[in-house]
Amino acid sequence: MSLVLLRVMLMKCERAGLQMSAPVLKQELADLKEVVMICGPDNAAREITHRSTVQDNLWKLFELDKMQKQIYLHKPLY
């Protein structure tokens, strides 16, 4: 199943004009990191680390901002 998903993601990249191999796609997505900044006992914020241009294009292509919002709804920061 994961190979099918990877192939679909690669096809979507190709249609958007992003030419990359499966290992490159996996590495670019794996390099996306989340950090939690704790500013006090009741104050914390989550952020995705700086994205490269390629990662930003993938972020937009796969609409990862929608996924990020859904994940944050289910993981309280305390």
| pLDDT reported for residue 74 | 60
pLDDT digits (tens, 9 = 90+) for 16-60: 999 999 999 999 999 999 888 898 888 888 888 899 999 999 999
Exposure b/e, 35-44, CB count within 10 A at least 16 = b: eeeeeeeeee
pTM over 0.85? The answer is no
Taking CB atoms within 8 Å and a gap of at least 24, the contacts of 6-10 are 9/62
| pLDDT reported for residue 42 | 85
| pLDDT reported for residue 63 | 93
Q: How far apart are CA 19 and CA 10, in angstroms?
A: 8
